[in-house]
A and B are shown apart, each in its own frame.
Chain A
Amino acid sequence: MRYSYILLFFYLLLPDIAIASQPSHQPAEQSAKQVYQHALHLAAQGKPSQAILALQVAHTLLPSSNIWQERMLAASELLNLKEKQGGNLPPIAKQNSYLNLAQSYLQTHPFTIKNDARLVGVLAALCPGAGHAWQGRWQDAGVAALFVFPLLILTLWAAKRRMGPVTVFFAFITLWLWSGTIFSAISLAERGHLESYIVWWQQLWQASGLPGQPW
């Protein structure tokens, strides 16, 4: 009962919660569940650090016999992993069935980087469109090449004709467009990396068996 009061107090401290709707006496189970759900709601709203803090504080307050204590720890570890975009969970001193499940999923489904942004950038610099083509984005590669090659030919033509300032003008436009296509290739690699990481992390969360969806 003592823990339910502590948890209820902590729960009321969290923002965006209607105090009037709280019953005066709640079992620890119910309060812990509400804290957990609210933390997941915060994570889904894009406030993971607040969610992790709420889960960690609630984890320290709950008795070890409570099932929600185990869940709080596992959820905070998984949210922490997502925050750092890590691929491995830290070793846990105590047995946690949710983290054990997540760990076994990690062993069979490790996160692998599909496209390295640096390699993609180098390819795009060597040949406009090659960075996009490397990522399997063939139409984008064609557009990137169309952006650069006509201006590049024009610059070389102007240089051959010794057109002075006109050559410099075309050279600047080519430089701008070429660097833009390199930027685009790197940006797509970074975006692809993040999106595939989030999908992988969501599968990891589901594999852990934790209730709720913090996304």
Chain B
Amino acid sequence: MASIWITWSTVVTQSIRIYALLALLSFMASGIWRSMHIPVSAPQSLMIHFYQHALGHLDGRSCPSYPVCSLYARQALQKHGWLLGSWLTIDRLIHEHDDLKDGNKKAEHIIVFEGQFRLYDPLARNDFWLNKK
């Protein structure tokens, strides 16, 4: 009888510990989520936030365009939803190579940002035709 009671109390104690650990982790996760300012309605932004806050700093700000590709992708997803937004992001990743070639550079699309020359390529430059009648 005593051994059953000991086993039962161990199970309960262990369950309470796991419960408390999960509650703490959930609280921390919600805190991190809140600090990242991710709207609940846009879970597709999570990957971009992960890139911006965790991975982006590892390789430095290497994007030659302005706004940077991650911000552009975020804007595209917020404005057009995940499918069109992701296509616009793919388009940005593809077209910046030839846009940066000397022959294709146009003076009105080159700006100086934080002391560096950047290709000014906002979302409006690429998604205007989606709203064309």
Partner of B91, one of A139, A142, A176, A184: A184
The smallest C-beta distance from B12 to any residue of chain A, in angstroms, reads 40
With A and B bound together, what is the CA distance between A90 and B61 in angstroms?
51
Contacts A179-B87, A184-B87: A144 and B126 contacting too (C-beta < 8 A)? no
Cβ of A9 < 8 Å from any Cβ of B? no
Q: A-side binding surface: helix, strand, loop or mixed?
A: helix
With A and B bound together, what is the CA distance between A137 and B98 in angstroms?
6
Chain B: number of interface residues, binned into ranges: 10 to 19
State which residues 167-215 of A face B: CB under 8 Å: 176-177, 179-181, 183-184, 187-188, 190-191, 194
The smallest C-beta distance from B129 to any residue of chain A, in angstroms, reads 4
The smallest C-beta distance from B20 to any residue of chain A, in angstroms, reads 37
With A and B bound together, what is the CA distance between A143 and B92 in angstroms?
11
Q: Let me know if B94 and A191 touch, CB within 8 A.
A: no
The interface bits of chain B over 80-117 (1 if a CB of A lies within 8 angstroms of the residue's CB, else 0) are: 00000011101101110110010000000000000000
Contacts A180-B90, A184-B87: A139 and B125 contacting too (C-beta < 8 A)? no
CB-CB under 8 A from B86, the residues of chain A are 176, 180
Cβ of A77 < 8 Å from any Cβ of B? no
Which of B86, B94, B132 counts the most A-chain CB atoms under 10 A from its CB?
A: B94
Interface residues of A (CB under 8 A from B): 132, 137-140, 142-144, 147, 176-177, 179-181, 183-184, 187-188, 190-191, 194
Query: 5 pairs across A/B with beta carbons < 8 Å?
Result: A132-B94, A142-B97, A143-B94, A144-B94, A191-B126
A-B pairs, 9 with minimum CB distance: A180-B90, A184-B91, A190-B129, A139-B97, A183-B87, A137-B98, A180-B87, A140-B98, A184-B94
